Chain A
């Protein structure tokens, strides 16, 4: 589903990603871990076609980047810590807007479905400006899956959420994964992510330095694996 070979990203003279190799199978849930500034966000931005790689081969959902970025975006749902929502519009209007941008058929029905999924149906006519951070993030999740994308890229989605919102997010993540979607999620919260993902990759100093499946995690779990991976 996602294939990355020798990805290099330079910002002027600073090299952030140095020949990164990465592959995700259809239906896998990969947690991307790494220290601050390791390039996780940059990597996700490149995968979502918001940024352009300096060199390397990338293909997402079967389409190469950057040449067929439009086709990639059609199959991609993206969530970052910014909600990407318009404060002056209602929840309903926000979803309708994005629905039109993605040219979704039966939009009204779809919006209803999604609002129900994220538990915002009763608040659909309220301005997003009045939403709490947790509610905004829930709506953002709705926006991300509105067009039923095969691949989900979530960048630190739990940031700033309270316990309830986090639990709902986790429930949704499990559900999406259960539906066979491919998910790549970056996170700082090791304990949370340990229960969600099926695979854990560590991005450090511009490359993937370690990768492990959930079943192979030792007695000491993810924290130990992560510590070891960074120590090398």
Chain B
């Protein structure tokens, strides 16, 4: 059944892939794809970083604090910055899929749809962590404070996970509406308030060297939020992407 010699021979049979193997493999593929594409264009990271630094700049002039007050305000300023810059990343990440119809390409893969959710979640998380990893030293230098605090880092990690868990789900929705980019912050911010409360207070606690016991309730809140919302998002993702 082969036609002319210039065509390549096509093997006819593949054994059906093991279900679980391809679930993890596709998550890995999506993460790799997002990171590779971003390393090429660097659009997303540049936008997020520049925006984050601009926000810190604005806070500097808008609040004009003395050293002591600023120290107390640091966690708040940091988290506000992360929250705003984060929406940029979430929006862009989904828009890239939607624009060349690539979302369909993902949906056509023979895996459970939730693999797409987890893949995007992790790559969004990586981008957010990269931005945070740059902002922390920059802030430390600009304001001569030491932010290299393991407790702070763990709070940032936990808070970012929760933020991205809900954010990935909501950005999948927002990208399918007419109002798109504008809609994501409106949808996201009211429902991530618990993260902000817990993260700002826990960050503050660690920076001020407050006793572990007093910080733990906030850490627990972050953990609970992360688990609950990742689970919910994973369960309802199918409803968002089917037609």
Contacts and interface: CB of A to CB of B under 8 A. Distances in A.
Direct A–B contact in the complex, CB atoms closer than 8 angstroms: yes
Given A97-B29, A178-B3, A85 B102 contact: yes
Contacts of A103: 17-18, 21-22, 25-26, 110
A101 B109 contact: yes
Contacts of A84: 100-102, 104-105, 108
Interface stretch (A30-38, A74-82, A198-206, A212-220): A74-82
Interface stretch (B32-40, B80-88, B161-169, B202-210): B32-40
A195 to B, nearest CB: 15
A73 B17 CA distance: 12
B96 to A, nearest CB: 8
- Chain A, interface size category, equals 35 or more
Interface in A40-77: 45, 48-52, 70-71, 73-74, 76
Residue of B11, B32, B110 contacting most chain A CB atoms (<10 Å): B110
B16 interface: yes
Contact of A73 (B13, B100, B110): B110
Nearest to A51: B243
Interface string B6-45: 0111111111111001100110111011001110110000
Give the dominant DSSP class at B's interface: loop
Interface residues of B, number: 44
A179 B3 CA distance: 9
Contacts of B15: 105
Nearest to B241: A50
A22 interface: no
B105 to A, nearest CB: 4
Interface string B106-120: 111111100000000
Contacts of A45: 243
Contacts of A74: 16-17, 110
Contacts of B32: 97, 100
B1 interface: yes
A113 B104 contact: no
Interface of A: 45, 48-52, 70-71, 73-74, 76, 78, 80, 82-89, 93, 97-98, 100-105, 110, 113-114, 116-117, 127, 143, 145, 147-148, 174-175, 178-180
